[in-house]
Chain A
Amino acid sequence: MVSQKTLTKIQLNTCPTADELAELNIGDVVYLNGLVYTARESVYTGVLDGDLEIPSEFNISEGANFHCSPAANQHEDGSFSLGAVSATASFRFSKWIGRWLEKTKSKIVIGKGGMSTNDYAKHFVPNKTIYLTTVGYGTGALLGRGVKKVKSLYWKKELGLAQAMWVLEVKNFGPFLVECDIKGNSLFEREHKKISLKIDKIYEGTRPAILKRLGETDDRKDELI
């Protein structure tokens, strides 16, 4: 085994203090304790532009917003079975995230692949919110183990199981990596810059296709989200 620099591991409440958040650096490994709610396109449009109301019994500012729909099921007696949970790609939610964070004051967003540094600067930094990325991204069984209980399921009928809002009680829920810290630094951007420095070398000797495609960029150092 190649020897590794070990990464810092941290247990964090889903409703963290400003000081706890300020201590986190990009690339730190985080495990969460508290409440996590899933919200993606249908919840965003339903609450922000439609007539869905965030249920008052659930203090959403204390929960972390998870871009996810779990592999789960509700039985006829109302009980739940929940197997694995993984995140879904977050870049698609850019157009809602600003208004969502303003409304909910959630301090943590969990997802897959991060969002753009522009989103971080415009929406995350002012709200003092951080972004955690899931790992792999296929660590669904590990994350499933960290879910202690399905607390409630909202809008199952209106939105379907996959898009409904699941509220989960979690303990030692992770691992996640800090992708965007409180200052808006991005782990993916940092890594991307390092990789881009050497990328031309691997292309040496290859040839661009004879027939171009519409809108084609040949600069592989471009970010794509």
Chain B
Amino acid sequence: MISLKTIENTAAVLMKKAAVEIPNDYLSGLKAMAKVEDGDLSSFVLQAMLENYEVAKEDSRAMCGDTGCPRWYIKMGNESSIEGGPVALESALRRATASATSSIPLRPNRVHPLWRTDHDNNVGIGAPEIEYGFEPEGDWIDLITVHKGGLFGTDYRMLFPSDGIQGIKRFFLDSLVSFGKRGLACQPAIIGIGIGGSKDSCMVLGKRAACLRVVGDKNPDPKIAELEEEFKELGNSIGMGAMGFVGKSMVIDCNIEVGYCHTGGMQMSVHAFCLSSRRAVARIYDTGDVEYRTDPNWFTAYQRRETVEW
């Protein structure tokens, strides 16, 4: 049985790692971009960001002053068991979120949508979000925290089959151009695209494609993987770079996830995981051992399951 104390301690470590350490896959992607960026202003911005990640690590301070909205993705092996069950797990994650907010410190971003009440701890009604997934085997649980920033860079549209790939491209470009102006999306970003499902699941797919897949990985469907590559190139050919200055650094990587949808429609969502692509992951085993990593490895074959029985 996995003890609550281990969960809470691990969650506290993850909150800090996410806020302070830029994941390596994103960092390598950005370094590669900085090498080829030829816009003088855009290039200056990339260099400043690279320096910023170093400073964050050296001083052990949050990489960005806007520390985003902490949320949790929990994945459970089918044989795992947790002391106190899922309800105890959720309160441990809520406690870890609240105490990390003052100890790191994070910005207390979460407020009531109407009354703007702030508990100064990033916890409130429905916050942090906690989402779940399961895997057929294993006695472990994965704790994944994502501190997604950015009010800008996300959009949804109901397209139709006759809009086709050209319609998808247009909406992709529209999203990048509108949120990239003045750099509101804090690009270059990991762009996640959800296609299909229904309105809500399309948003979830796109967000997970941005936040739970790493730079460099590919969709297992080779034709979708080709689209990912094509869209990345397309985004970097707009002529716009970091902060909306002339340049070519918009898309660090493009990840697409799909879900079966109504036969008449073709939902599409676009999400930008910003210059502070904060995610941190730990696997806790039944033995109490903890392994830290930065790749959530969320989209397994089981998560994308295609048929009636597994």
Contact = CB atoms under 8 A, between A and B. Distances in A.
Interface in B159-173: 159-160, 162-164, 166-167, 169-171, 173
Contact of A202 (B104, B167, B182, B239): B239
Interface stretch (A54-62, A80-88, A97-105, A124-132): A80-88
Nearest to B22: A138
A55 B274 CA distance: 37
Contact of B48 (A70, A73, A83, A142): A142
A73 B105 contact: yes
Interface stretch (B37-45, B125-133, B194-202): B37-45
Contact of A71 (B40, B67, B116, B237): B67
B275 A136 contact: yes
B243 to A, nearest CB: 7
Contacts of A162: 107-109, 111, 118
Contact of B43 (A2, A27, A29, A177): A2
B302 to A, nearest CB: 34
A202 B62 contact: no
B240 interface: yes
Given A114-B182, A139-B52, A7 B157 contact: no
Nearest to A1: B35
A40 B123 CA distance: 23
Interface in B25-49: 34-38, 40-41, 43-45, 48-49
A19 to B, nearest CB: 26
A192 B38 contact: no
A47 interface: no
B197 to A, nearest CB: 18
Given A195-B240, A207-B163, A210-B167, A138 B109 contact: no
Interface string A124-163: 0000000001011111111111000000000000001110
Contact of A188 (B59, B106, B244): B244
A136 B170 contact: no
A81 B181 contact: no
B159 to A, nearest CB: 6
A73 B62 CA distance: 13
Interface residues of A, number: 64
B264 to A, nearest CB: 12
Contact of A199 (B52, B160, B238): B238
B276 interface: yes
Contacts of B234: 202
B2 interface: no
A89 interface: yes
A73 to B, nearest CB: 4
B211 to A, nearest CB: 16
Q: Which of A27, A73, A141, A143 has the most CB of B within 10 A?
A: A141
Contacts of A175: 48
B237 to A, nearest CB: 6
Contacts of A142: 48, 51-52, 55
A85 B65 CA distance: 4
B290 interface: no
Contacts of B40: 4-5, 7
Given A5-B40, A162-B109, A207 B164 contact: yes
B12 to A, nearest CB: 16
Contacts of A177: 41, 44
B190 to A, nearest CB: 14
A145 to B, nearest CB: 6
13 contacts: A84-B61, A86-B65, A138-B49, A138-B64, A138-B275, A141-B62, A144-B65, A160-B111, A208-B170, A209-B167, A209-B170, A211-B158, A220-B174
Given A85-B65, A135-B243, A140-B62, 14 more contacts: A2-B38, A71-B66, A81-B105, A83-B106, A138-B63, A139-B49, A139-B52, A140-B52, A140-B65, A141-B62, A142-B55, A195-B246, A199-B177, A202-B173
